[in-house]
Amino acid sequence: AKRSADDLRSPICCILGHVDTGKTKLLDCIRRTNVQEGEAGGITQQIGATYFPRENIIERTKDVRTKVEMKVPGLLVIDTPGHESFTNLRSRGSGLCDIAILVVDIMHGLEPQTIESLNLLKMRHTPFVVALNKVDRLYSWKSCPNAPITNAFEKQSRDVMNEFDRRLNQIITQIKEQGLNSELYYKNPDRRKYVSIVPTSAISGEGVPDLLMLLVTLTQQMMESKLMYISEVQCTVLEVKVVEGLGTTIDVILVNGVLHEGDQIVVCGMQGPIVTTIRALLTPHPMKEIRVKGQYLHHKELKAAQGIKLTAQGLEHAIAGTQLHVVGPDDDLEDIKEEAMEDMKNVMSRVDKSGEGVCVQASTLGSLEALLEFLKSPAVKIPVSGISIGPVHKRDVMRASVMLERKKKEYATILAFDVKVTPEAKDLAEELGVRIFTADIIYHLFDQFTAYMDNVKE
Ligand code: GDP
Ligand code: MG
């Protein structure tokens, strides 16, 4: 298949931001309003994602003043909002996400996870827009359900608009402090230099049409060639999960190409490359809640972009956040095995060669990378001697305990990001004198560790 501007795939969009800013609600709002009005418009629930087809977006954005012709077939929005997701959404070393929505609560401004998300977006060079959510909470806001934001603003009193402007300016300043320029989307002088801000309410839907239109406009204008459909498979493992009756499954986002039942695939595993065959390609039943057990449709083949659950033998040690490779008739299996382990090798190379340093552990390759990136930065500089993905087990504690015999006893420490610690590991750590710090915000780990280091020095 030739690449062409007439055959674009759906852009992939993810939602991130601090807890309680309204990420889930915003997605619900885009989805539900239509479903409730009985015009589902082909919206489909997918594994870890929701697909919004073109017709639906056109209907939803019909009153927006600045419209563009829609060339993309739809929008695939990644559902797993929160921490797990974004760091995981990688593809070929860059972000899997074509564009992101960073949700900010207008009443709270930038919060710790907003800043962490901002840094991740900068690091991955992912274009994004800010949804300045909960505008309906401005004192005496007049509700204008699902209206474009400019229409809604015309209905507001001067007091409401004054309060809005005051809060908006504060937030623009806070974003500036993070090194980025931003502006209301319809006043944005240059979309490549200023982040666009869209005021929204996930409860009454104001601004949601603008948000959808902006996502379409930006992806079409800024990344047309990246969106051209190609037959070469590009696929990222989102999650590795055991499902009753199916065994170990992997949830993947197929970004480009086609997957078939029976395809030979290679994925990156903790113990080396995993070579296996796709046994089943599954998606949820249309309009069924995806978390309902056992409700899957089987497919012979599926074309991008899609969220898919697949089953195959030997997936137990697959690593979330890595690429899935398909072995074609002309491919050399050894080459592909090597390519599949590339992601892991990159991360391994960040480990301190002196062998002195803390051990770090994270839930996925993506989050491990983010953590290593942070520890390496000039302001932090904490050396790392060992890394691992998944829960902290006894063997991880054993490995960290090696540092007890070195001069730097304080490095007998495990920094565990967003992972569980098994009770046996906890007991052993206590017995041996290994410290385990756990957190789900990266710099909280840093704070705990530096406080501990300062203590040790005294
Ligand atoms: P998440 O943690 O970012 O996914 O946030 P949720 O979507 O779970 O929302 C957190 C809380 O804020 C819930 O009680 C929502 O009902 C509420 N909320 C979300 N969006 C809005 C909004 O636009 N306006 C108002 N008034 N409340 C909202
Ligand atoms: Mg949520």
Where does ligand 1 bind, in terms of residues with CB under 6 Å?
Answer: 19-25, 81, 133-134, 136-137, 201-203
C-alpha distances (whole Å) from 374 to each of 89, 367, 370, 441, 445 are 18, 11, 6, 12, 11
- 3-class SS at 445? helix
pLDDT for position 103: 95
Among the ranges given (9-18, 78-87, 146-155, 397-406), the one the predictor scored with the smallest mean pLDDT: 78-87
Q: Which atom of ligand 1 is nearest to the CA of 137?
A: 26
For the segment 350-359, the average pLDDT, to the nearest whole number, is: 83
116 or 80, which is more confident: 116
Q: How confident is the model at residue 348 (pLDDT cuts 50, 70, 90)?
A: confident
Q: What is the ipTM of this complex?
A: 0.99
pLDDT digit string, tens, across residues 74-115 = 999 886 654 444 555 554 444 578 999 999 999 999 998 889
CA distance to 203, 397, 431, per residue, from 360 (Å)? 40, 11, 20
Which residue minimizes the CA distance to atom 24 of ligand 1? 134
Single-letter amino acid code for the residue at 125: H
Residue located nearest, by CA, to atom 20 of ligand 1: 22
Q: What percent of the chain has pLDDT over 70?
A: 90
Residue 36 has pLDDT above 80, yes or no: no
Can you give the pLDDT at residue 94? 46
User: What is the residue type of 398?
Assistant: M
- Ligand 1: nearest atom to the Cα of 134: 23
**Separation of alpha carbons 76 and 27, rounded Å:** 11
Q: What's the whole-model pTM score?
A: 0.79
Cα angle value 413/419/425 (rounded, 5°): 55
Q: Whose CA is nearest to atom 18 of ligand 1?
A: 22
pLDDT tens for each residue of 389-441? 888 999 999 999 999 988 788 899 999 988 899 999 999 999 999 999 998 77
Window from 84-88, 175-179, 300-304, 312-316 with minimum mean pLDDT: 84-88
Cβ-proximal residues to 44 (8 Å cutoff; 6+ apart), any chain:
50, 51, 283, 284, 286, 287
Q: Which amino acid is at 275?
A: V
Q: Which atom of ligand 1 is nearest to the CA of 25?
A: 7
Q: What is the mean pLDDT of the chain?
A: 86
Given the CA of residue 27, which atom of ligand 1 is nearest to it?
A: 7
Amino acid 163: pLDDT:
98
Residue pLDDT, tens place only, 218-265: 999 988 888 887 788 999 888 888 888 888 999 999 988 899 999 999
Question: 456 burial class (0-12, 13-18, 19+ CB within 10 angstroms)?
Answer: exposed
Identify the nearest ligand to the CA of 133 by its number: 1
Q: Looking at ligand 1, which residue's alpha carbon is closest to its atom 6?
A: 22
3 state SS for 2-35: CCCCCCECCCEEEEEECCCCCHHHHHHHHHHHHH
| 19 alpha carbon, closest ligand | 1
Tokens of 82: 């929160």
DSSP for residue 392: B
Q: One-letter amino acid identity for 220?
A: Q
The region that residue 97 occupies, defined by phi over 0 for left and psi between -120 and 50 for alpha, beta otherwise, is: beta
Q: Which of 18, 25, 26, 85 to mutate to test the pocket of ligand 1 (most atoms within 8 A of CB)?
A: 25
Residue nearest atom 11 in ligand 1 by C-alpha distance: 20
